[in-house]
Structure 1
């Protein structure tokens, strides 16, 4: 397994992973599927803040980060997203991706990474806790998907002291 910076050519595979999660789970609150062109633009815009895990030229998952909130006071804080293809789960790929993403964030001067996690995704809460993230917020019923009200859990990790 190899972790590398995402390339435009990865956009189709990334969109497939994301759209499967959108269609089949409550992991994300959105029902709007991602277009390949939009994913390609994100890859181009985020550069080293967009990583993929691949094996045998197949993208198994990705991790990326973007703005947490607007304004200069949040310049050193980013919200991340990590998603894996179903066949890639439970193999340590997510841990490797998030670790590499944290390294990239440190190199870019990012102080805090935030995870916004659906209350329907207990596995993501345990995953993040195992990697040193702590829950710092719980927003009841802010999400709605398929007629279900869902909570948003906020977890964060401080990447460097100071």
Structure 2
């Protein structure tokens, strides 16, 4: 019996200290796109940072989505496997969607560019909690769902969906 249905999210930060090809691609592609797309929110070229652009024009928040479109192909190369979160056996957790956000950026300083990707799992069945271990399975209808164990860390955000309640008649 399930304790609850949940989604798990984990956030990955991308800055100038990229280590993998995937991280470098996200960092460089989003900075290049930020340079192009921010011109619409930088009238007079007096604003240099993303936060300044938002203060001057709330529509600058649209840059999150515009930069996300730029890296959709790169995200697809992950084949829905979270690069930053794995179960206790080392198998990557699957994600259903990833959302890009600009933490900060600066047109005059590429080293100040920071973006995040928040990966969110498909619906999971929480079967049990043992100390800091979650026993989970993917919620796939009509299939026997293999359980796996995930150690809780400060990287995780657990989104509670629904519990099953015992009904006495």
Using the size of structure 1 for normalisation, the TM-score is 0.27
The structure in which a higher percent of residues are helix is: 1
Larger relative contact order (C-alpha < 8 A, sep ≥ 6)?
2
Using the size of structure 2 for normalisation, the TM-score is 0.26
The structure whose Rg is larger is 2
